[in-house]
Structure 1
Amino acid sequence: MFTGMSAFPLTPLNESKIDEHAYLKIITRLVDAKVDSICVQGSTGSYAYLTLKERAHLLRLAVEEANGIPVMTSIGALRTRDVLIAAENAQKMGASALLLAPVSYQKLTLDEVFSLYETVAGEISVPLCIYESPGTTHFDFSPSLLLNLARLPNVASIKLLGGYPESENYLNRITNLKNALPTHVSLGISGDVFAAPSLSAGCQIWYSVIGGLFPRVAMKIAHLAITGKGDEAAQQSAKLAPLWALFRQYGSLRVVASAAAMLGLAENGCLPLPLKTLHGDVCKEISDVIESVQLS
């Protein structure tokens, strides 16, 4: 399941409830587009704002709705105890794979992060994806650490952040890791603006924010790049430059949540406070971009 385009859908919710109807409508949209895989309760799915019980329930709904498409889910939590509970719940609910970032209030050491993954990898029976997210975890994965983690049992993919650590050299990092990783561990990319060049450089899967709302355009870009049509993939990605600019300015989660509300796929204010959807002139900007690049 670690090739192609993995869609990361929104979890519409407010302070009183999770909008399960909207959530399933978004999942159905991905199923209809025949995405390669789905990752619910990723960062776009607001996993850090949900209880372990809510995460398990939402995963079960997604697996039932996915019509056989593999479903991955995040198991990140502040304590290893809760990570293991989340992993156990996810496996019981039918997850095909687990996504884990080294979440912590205190910045973790290299040894602490290795121990986290070693503990989890030894307790699970489904594939594990390592999640690089330095903006939220404040932890930097060194190449040597990633290679050591890739040798752990059940580790099947690494989700890199595009453009990191330097936007000029990230493609070299991808190439070097790809050449050094065990063949059974796939290399994936997040940070949508970097997807097309990263897939052309050797990544096998795009972990996509835009794919969670506009799956068809993301599938097109991913499959062009993976099948050696990098120039065409880059051209398609360039058409989305206004959207990438909005992501940089306001954050991809706020933009996607606001777009979902505009499209009638979720209600206004579908983010957990203190996060807020966008309003006013910004929404007009988003609407204009959706129309101009013919997203639907």
Structure 2
Amino acid sequence: MFSGLSAFPLTPLNAGGIDEPAFVRLIERLVAAKVDSIGALGSTGNYAYLSIAERGRVARLAVEHAAGVPVMVGIGSVRTRDVLALAEEAQRAGASAVMLAPVSYQRLSDKEVYGLFEDVTRALSVPLCVYDNPGTTHFTFSDELHGEIARLPNVASIKIPGVPNDTIEAKVRVERLRALIPSHVSIGVSGDALGAMGLNAGCEVWYSAIGGTFPEAMLAITRAAQAGNADESLRLSARLQPLWQLFGEYGGSLRVTAAAAELLGLVEAPCLPRPLKAVDGEARERLAALVNELALS
């Protein structure tokens, strides 16, 4: 399951809590688009803002409506006790894999992060993806630490935070990490603006936030890269540059993705947990024009 496009849907909320019908619609769209896997409860899925019970419910909904598409469930939390509880919930729900970011309030050391993954992988019966996201966790993995963690049981993939925006430098980056990890552990790129670059540089999977809302456009980029058509994948990605620019202006993909889902009528507005807010005003107008101009749906 750790290849191709892994699409990460929003977990939309309303006044009553999780907007379950809207979440199911998002999952069903991904199934219809034929994504390679679904990443529930990633950063786009607002996992950090949900209770253990809510996250268990989201995991069950995702698996129940995925129609056999593999579902990976995020289990990151501040305390190891809670990570283990979330891992158990995900496995009971039937998740095909779990994804773990080293979430913290106190800054973690390398030794503590290794210990976290050691404790969790020991308790798993499904594969684990290492979620490397320094923009939210404020922890930076060294390649050497990735190499050590990748040798733990059940570790199957590493989700790296983008690659250099240069063909040669991107390839060097991926090859440097590949030399330190076992061959059975895949390398996946995140940071949607660099998805095509990462796939062309040797990443096996694209962990895509916007793919959870616009799966067909991201699948086109993915399939071009998988077919060895690097120029076409980069052309399709460059076409979305105004969208990538909005991500950069508003602190990442979440607020823009939420606004896009609201504009398409896929979720109610507002859909994010307060105090988070989807982009509005002039940025929302720009986004609406882009969705229309690029025929994103």
Contact 1:15–1:272 (CA<8 Å) still a contact in 2?
no
Contact 1:186–1:203 (CA<8 Å) still a contact in 2?
yes
For residues 84-132 of structure 1, give each alpha carbon's deviation from its aligned partner in whole angstroms, at most 9, with x where no partner exists. 0000010000010000000000110010000000110111000000001
Superposed, 1:8-27 pairs within 5 Å as 8-14=8-14, 16-27=16-27
Task: Show the counterpart of 2:208.
Answer: 208
Task: Show the counterpart of 1:284.
Answer: 285
Deviation at 1:194, TM superposition (A): 0.6
SS of equivalent to 2:160: strand
* More displaced stretch, 220-229 vs 1-10: 220-229
Deviation at 1:167, TM superposition (A): 11
Question: Is 2:32 the partner of 1:39?
Answer: no
**Aligned partner letter, 1:176:** R
Task: Show the counterpart of 1:271.
Answer: 272
What CA distance in whole angstroms lies between the structure 2 residues aligned with 1:203 and 1:167?
A: 13
| CA 1:81–1:168: 2 relative to 1, 3 Å | farther
* More displaced stretch, 200-209 vs 275-284: 275-284
Deviation at 1:183, TM superposition (A): 1.3
What CA distance in whole angstroms lies between the structure 1 residues aligned with 2:200 and 2:283?
A: 33
Task: Show the counterpart of 2:5.
Answer: 5
| CA 1:196–1:82: 2 relative to 1, 3 Å | same
Runs (5+) with no aligned partner, structure 2: none
Seq. identity, %: 54
| CA 1:167–1:15: 2 relative to 1, 3 Å | farther
What CA distance in whole angstroms lies between the structure 2 residues aligned with 1:281 and 1:182?
A: 47
What CA distance in whole angstroms lies between the structure 2 residues aligned with 1:208 and 1:171?
A: 19
Contact 1:74–1:100 (CA<8 Å) still a contact in 2?
yes
Contact 1:178–1:203 (CA<8 Å) still a contact in 2?
no
For residues 151-177 of structure 1, give each alpha carbon's deviation from its aligned partner in whole angstroms, at most 9, with x where no partner exists. 000000000000479999454221211
For residues 184-229 of structure 1, give each alpha carbon's deviation from its aligned partner in whole angstroms, at most 9, with x where no partner exists. 1000000001111111111000000111001011111112112211
| CA 1:183–1:79: 2 relative to 1, 3 Å | same
Contact 2:70–2:96 (CA<8 Å) still a contact in 1?
yes
SS of equivalent to 2:187: strand
Superposed, 1:1-296 pairs within 5 Å as 1-14=1-14, 16-163=16-163, 169-250=169-250, 251-296=252-297
Contact 1:28–1:66 (CA<8 Å) still a contact in 2?
yes
Q: Normalization by structure 2: what TM-score?
A: 0.96
SS of equivalent to 1:115: helix
Size of the alignment, in residue pairs? 296
Contact 1:15–1:273 (CA<8 Å) still a contact in 2?
no
- Backbone CA RMSD of aligned residues: 1.6
